[in-house]
Amino acid sequence: SGSKLLCAVVFLTSLVCSACSPKTGFVHSASLDGDGRYNIKWGFDESTISFEAEVETKGYIGFGLSPTGAMASSDIVIGGVLNGSPYLLDYFTDSSRKVHKDPVQSYQLLYGRENDTHTVLAFSRNIQTCDDNDKVITGSTVRVIWAFHEEDVGASGPVYHGMNRGRKSLRLLNPGTSSSIPAGTAFFDLQNEKVHVPDKETTYWCRIFKFPEMKRKHHVIRIEPLIQKGHENLVHHILLYQCDSNLNKSEINREHECYHPNMPDSFFTCETILFAWAIGGEGFTYPPHVGMSIGTSIDPVLVQMEVHFDNPSLQKGKVDSSGLRLYFSPNLRRYDAGVIETGVWVSLYHMLPPGMQDYITEGHCTQECLQESLNSEMPSGVHVFAVLLHAHLAGRAIRARHFRQQVELPPLASDDQFDFNFQEFQPLSQERLILPGDSLITECRYNTKGRMNMTWGGLSARDEMCLSYLIYYPRVNLARCESLPEITGQLKFIGVKEIQEPVTTWPFVIKSPKKFSNLSFTEAMDKYRWTRKRGKEFNEVVRKLPMNVRCSKIGQDEWSIQGMIVSPPELKSEQTSEDVLPCRNVSESQFESFLTVFLAACLLLILQTHLHL
């Protein structure tokens, strides 16, 4: 009887502990600084997220969640180990960056320790705490701020951290693919060789490479960036395109500024996107059943690597050798992967008025394009397993929306806290089937409040884009599925009546009315007196305009729907932007813990009574 009672006590104790204590399975990790002095691990379940910070200090550690990446209006936790005892306090900052102790202590200390060089601190909180001073954690980008000091927190509070601080954007609840691949996996590098970066704001640099010769089919299973140290903010994105395999061998290793009037003709054959990396991304690992095929007659042989250098301070003397590393294996997966570029066709016809707090652009991958291409190539549909959402500096939020028979399904991907400096492929928690006749909308929200002139669709970081890159399987002959609103309706809004014909210049020139006569359409748009009210009305007009469809195949071929004018679909139902967990406050959590303990005690009492009998 005594042994049975002891077993029951041990079992119930473990039951209570597991119910009341957060799980500490840290399956994700990141280095928050460039030198590896501040590293975190984290894990989460349906309601709780737990962190472990390992920092090169014997003083306090600061960790926070910020709406902008700055100190103001942030949710902060500060802790350390003092005289062998770990401590942790929940703080918040107001709009003036003043630090306040949070009346509701939402963070729970799990453990802490330190040695001669480092402090380790583990803590947890509810994903939704219902505390107005805490930041709600969602699947969107989270701007993590960090700091540390050589001294612990004293009676008067934490000492100012000085230069030991920084920020890093992460997706805590959707953290990307694992970098784990089998040891010894073969790889090859595509790297520029000492490119002298021009001292201008935006440069796109292109170079043609030849993939290694393969005697049989292989699969690329991981691609990661090779960014030259110190150039993390200079290299904004890298795109990899498939080129015409019949190009002359003399084109191999040829390099030139992309989109330049003197760009080699061979560069125009490189149009099919194979991979996209953008600033802040850590690389991408394909799922176990999918890979990028190389080595067969229809696979890429010659590729073009396009590197976007973003140099707003016009630095001189920068020499860059960044690129990509591709890991490949002879052990074939079941499916070949493909990439579809969807969203707004990059053009000056994509325009944003100045001074707008919230301006919405929609790029359509139309029902007509997916009907024609998938019916011909894969009537059973394709499976999307990762999405990269892409915009520039005015971007604030992006959604890749999915419709079937005009009824909206959950989004393929979304980011309500978009960060220009953190763009990487988001793996989908569940693969999504895209069927013939489905449609997609890439929806981008912009803020142009600080701008005095129009923002144009274009290549510069100060221009704008609205794109989503979908990685899917099995590979089909569809490279781009995009749209662009008709220009006529946009010009009509500002009162343009006639343009000069024949069109001999770009941007084309306005003929009437007189106030816009002999101005290019871009100059006319800038001259128009924009107000927030007019900008909102313009936005509503543009979203209802007929669209020019882009529906292109791999290479330079097109589906027949390309260039056709269609109207935006009439949607039968729509979904809200992002799901937020229902509010669970501290008292509710405490009550659940109390209830668990109470029930366990009752069960223990029943067992004791039974054993005595």
pLDDT score of 595:
52
Largest pairwise CA distance in the chain: 104
Query: In a 10 Å sphere around its CB, with 0-12 CB exposed, 13-18 middle and 19+ buried, how is residue 569 labelled?
Result: middle
Q: What is the DSSP string of 567-602?
A: PPP--SB---S---PPP--HHHHHHHHHHHHHHHHH
Taking each helix axis from N to C end, the angle separating 586-612 and 2-20, rounded to the nearest 10 degrees, works out to 170
Per the listing, tokens 């990790």 go with: 29
Per the listing, tokens 């990509």 go with: 324
The Cα angle at residue 270 between residues 268 and 275, in degrees rounded to 5? 145
β-pair partners for 208: 304
Q: What is the sign, positive or negative, of the torsion defined by CA atoms of 97, 99, 104, 109? A: positive
- Return d(Cα 151, Cα 161) in angstroms, integer: 9
Separation of CA 510 from chain center: 39
Distances (CA, A) of 264 to 73, 208, 256, 271, 383: 51, 11, 8, 14, 36
Six-digit token pair at 180? 């784990």
pLDDT score of 114:
95
Residues ≥6 apart with Cβ < 8 Å to 401: 408, 411, 412, 440, 441, 442, 443, 575
Q: What is the DSSP string of 8-70?
A: HHHHHHHHHHHHHSPP----EEEE-STTSSEEEEEEE-SSEEEEEEEES-SS-EEEEEESSSS
Radius of gyration of the chain (CA): 28
Say which of 390, 392, 446, 469 is annotated catalytic. 390
- Return d(Cα 310, Cα 305) in angstroms, integer: 16
> Is 60 a catalytic site residue?
no
Could you list the mean pLDDT of each consecutive 10-residue stretch along the chain, which spans 613 residues?
51 46 71 87 93 96 94 95 95 92 95 96 94 92 95 83 89 80 93 92 92 94 92 88 86 89 86 83 90 91 92 90 96 95 96 98 97 97 95 95 95 94 87 97 97 92 93 95 97 96 93 96 97 97 97 90 94 68 54 52 58 52
Side chain identity at residue 29, one-letter code: S
pLDDT score of 15:
47
Torsion of Cα atoms, 184 then 185 then 186 then 187, to 10°: -120
- Return d(Cα 275, Cα 443) in angstroms, integer: 21
Per the listing, tokens 């066709």 go with: 345
β-pair partners for 457: 464
- Return d(Cα 40, Cα 170) in angstroms, integer: 11
Residues ≥6 apart with Cβ < 8 Å to 502: none
pLDDT score of 26:
86
Say which of 60, 91, 204, 286 is annotated catalytic. 204
The Cα angle at residue 574 between residues 572 and 534, in degrees rounded to 5? 100
pLDDT score of 600:
54
Distances (CA, A) of 273 to 53, 218, 223, 240, 292: 38, 19, 14, 6, 12
> Is 118 a catalytic site residue?
no
pLDDT score of 287:
94
